[in-house]
Amino acid sequence: MAVKSKRFRIGTTHIRPGETKDVYLKISEYFTGDPISLPIRVMRARRSGPCIFVSATVHGDELNGMGIVHDLMFGPTIRLQKGTLILAPVINIFGFESQDRYMPDRRDLNRFFPGSKTGNLTSRVANLIFNEIIKKSDYGIELHTAAQPRANFPNVRGDMKKAEVRKLATAFGAELILDGRGPDGSLRREATKAGCPTIILEAGEPLKIQEEIMQIGVRGVLNVLKYFEMLPGEPEKPMFQVRASRSTWVRAEVGGILRYHVSLGESVAAGQRIATNSSVFGEKQNVLRSPVDGIVLSLKTLPMVKPGEPICHIAIPSRSLTSIRKKITQHRRKNNNERGDQLSILNVSRSEREAEYYDRGED
């Protein structure tokens, strides 16, 4: 559904071919009756082509995505050869203002799409975003970070059973791709269902703008624009890509203070130590181990834990750990691990250099 019409509108603002406009889309009102608006930038080439939206901060405390969109807006000028690009740096303006994941009614905006014109506050905001941005787009890229208090290794997620989603996810160029439709009511799931294939980037920590995450996000969005020939040049391919359709959590067995033996993106074998959980006096209580071969997808950043709390999220790749590690070794030798500017599965783990310290005593 490439945008062919000379008239393209967001809210009450018309954007003609060749124009770039900043739009303020009214989504609600303050107690005073004054408008609450979403800031959106719309860039249109003179030639018709795909319309792609890039959105961030559907959870108000996930700021890395906003940083990525800011870099796209204020970095090197993007001159589209064709098509339309919609940049929405903050779509949960309420949570963003209060540095909170949720909406003022304590609902999760990312569980209410496509929303309703006559529903609650969250549902109404979701409906307006869905009608004004998603339904006018051919493809979508959502930018997320981990929920508090966790950090995510950069990964792209989408329904890989859909050919168009698969193309989008591959073109983005992340090293790790997770197959999944997403929860009911989530933007990516409902957008894809409505005919707008959408992926998400999950990367980094909440309440931070992290330089390495911004580099990965900007590179990925530009890769997608190049893939659809909206920008000149070829997409920058990753050294390799790993896909996973399953994952598992490692949870704390007892309360205590954590010390990790692994890093984000590290490949781990079944039985490998993930973390040591010690009492406040430093007495070793137990060692948490990986139940599967996989890749460390997410880690809890707060070191204090209670029994049952999620500690480590492990993605279970479609290929064997042996083949992954073989490829990592090959790429390290070939490229001398040149891409040190980003988080990468190629990065070495801490587990070997910390092993001696934690080998004292019994598990």
Distance CA 205, CA 59 (A): 12
Of the chain, the percentage scoring pLDDT greater than 90 comes to 81
Q: Which phi-psi region, left, alpha or beta, contains residue 271 (left: φ > 0; alpha: ψ -120 to 50)?
A: left
At 359 the pLDDT is 40
- Check residue 353 and give its pLDDT: 35
Contact between residue 29 and residue 72 where contact means Cβ atoms under 8 Å apart: no
Token pair listed for 232: 């000149």
Q: Environment class of residue 85 by beta-carbon count within 10 Å: exposed (0-12), middle (13-18) or buried (19+)?
A: buried
pLDDT (0 to 100) of residue 14 = 97
Q: Divide the 363 residues of the chain into consecutive groups of 10 and give the mean pLDDT of each group.
A: 72 96 96 96 97 98 98 93 98 97 97 98 98 98 97 98 98 96 97 98 97 96 98 92 95 94 94 94 88 96 95 93 77 60 51 39 39
The whole-number pLDDT of residue 239 equals: 83
| CATH 2.40.50.100 assigned to 246-358 | yes
Q: How far apart are alpha carbons 321 and 316 in whole angstroms?
A: 9
pLDDT number for residue 333 = 72
Cβ-based neighbours of 187, under 8 Å, separated by 6 or more: 55, 58, 110, 113, 129, 134, 140, 142, 198
Helices and strands: H and E segment counts in the chain: 8, 18
Tokens of 144: 């997320």
Length of the chain, in residues:
363
What does the pLDDT look like over 101-143, one tens digit per residue? 999 999 999 999 999 999 999 999 999 999 999 999 999 999 9
Beta strands in 159-293 (DSSP E): 176-179, 198-204, 242-251, 256-260, 267-268, 273-278, 284-289
Pairing of strands 256-260, 273-278: antiparallel
**What's the pLDDT at 5?**
59
Q: Is 349 left (phi over 0), alpha (psi -120 to 50) or beta?
A: beta
Six token digits for residue 181: 């439709």
* 8-227 CATH fold: Aminopeptidase (3.40.630)
What is the Cα–Cα distance from 354 to 201, expressed in whole angstroms? 31
- What pLDDT was estimated at residue 330? 76
pLDDT at 284: 73
How is the chain split into domains, by residue range? 8-227, 246-358
Read off the pLDDT of residues 179-190 as tens digits, 9 standing for 90 and up: 999 999 999 999
